[in-house]
Amino acid sequence: MALEYRLILTGDTSIDQVAERAFPDASERPIGGPPRLTVDHRESYGFIVTVLPGRDGYLDLETDGGSWVWEPKSYVGIQFRLDKFADLRWAVTNMLGVVRRALDTGPEDATFDFNGDILLFARLDGELTKHRRTWWEHYSSGDRSIPG
């Protein structure tokens, strides 16, 4: 069974712009055409990436304090499917590098979740709040790469 993570960035930014921000090296960038871009980075990073646009989203995610609902009007999602055979610490560290680039290059409100169920962080009005401290402690190199 694979593990899936998802970064949601609100707004009307195009999937091409988000892919370029997350993967500045054109040779690593997801390719395709609307409505989705994808790239297989299992050998080099331990995951497959898909970039998709969305409208009228509905997220119901678990936090340390219970359920949290968010309804972004328009957004771009970066989905990471981690290879079950990859070294998870290595793959998560690589994934969080991509997440960090996407966050650092835009001001959007954002969420980052695990398996579409557990909120790992939310950035709202520029303030990033981490959830599931035990997850961040387990992936300490990732914890250092995402301030908050």
CA angle 49, 119, 82 (to 5 degrees): 30
Q: What's the 3-state SS for 36-84?
A: EEEEEECCCCCEEEEEEEEECCCEEEEECCEEEEECCCEEEEEEEEECC
User: What pLDDT is stored for residue 34 in this prediction?
Assistant: 83
Given a contact cutoff of 8 angstroms between Cβ atoms, the answer to whether 89 and 139 are in contact is: yes
Gap between the Cα atoms of 96 and 5, Å rounded:
10
User: What pLDDT is stored for residue 44 in this prediction?
Assistant: 94
- What CATH number should be reported for the domain holding residue 27? 3.30.310
Joined tokens for residue 108? 């959007």
Gap between the Cα atoms of 61 and 8, Å rounded:
13
State how many domains the chain has: 1
| Domain region containing 89 | 3-145
Gap between the Cα atoms of 31 and 35, Å rounded:
11
- Count of beta carbons in the 10 Å neighbourhood of residue 30: 22
User: What pLDDT is stored for residue 86 in this prediction?
Assistant: 83
User: What pLDDT is stored for residue 85 in this prediction?
Assistant: 82
Nearest in space to 108 (alpha carbons), one of 6, 5, 13: 13
- Count of beta carbons in the 10 Å neighbourhood of residue 58: 9
Mean pLDDT by 10 residues, the chain (148 residues): 94 96 97 94 96 96 94 98 89 96 97 97 96 92 82
